[in-house]
Amino acid sequence: MPVRLPEARDKGDLSENAEYDAAKDAQGLLELKIAKLGRDCSLIPALVDESSIDSSQVSILSKVKIKNKKNGATVCYTLVSEEEADLKAGKISVQSPIGKGLLGKKVGQSASITVLAGQMEFEVVEISR
């Protein structure tokens, strides 16, 4: 992306250069995203104090083992913020349907969650940090 501005600038008169205008707009959007990420990162220590999180129920930063009540399959997820979500690493967002459905549940409790495939029933098997 940074290469686009110099290339567009080299094409002549900037007042009538649509490619230059598009590159400037793209640069502005990237700068806004960078600023937002900087603000978000500066708030993290104030938002989550791990020592004050109740580990008896599912919450953000909980590692939770759940069992699909229909087929008996178990899976472990860590509930994280939307920005940290990475399904391959076993990290799901607290904003995802499964994350939302598990929040506040305790070991032994069930959660009926609507996902793209339909309604699924999970049981919380274990909660850890």
* Higher pLDDT, residue 115 or 51: 115
Give residue-wise pLDDT tens across range 74-85: 999 999 988 889
> Whole-structure pTM over 0.85, yes or no?
no
Nearest to 108 by CA among 34, 56, 30, 60: 56
**Residue 24: band (very low, low, confident or very high) from pLDDT cuts 50, 70, 90:** confident
- How far apart CA 90 and CA 53 sit, in angstroms, is 20
Residue 31: predicted pLDDT: 92
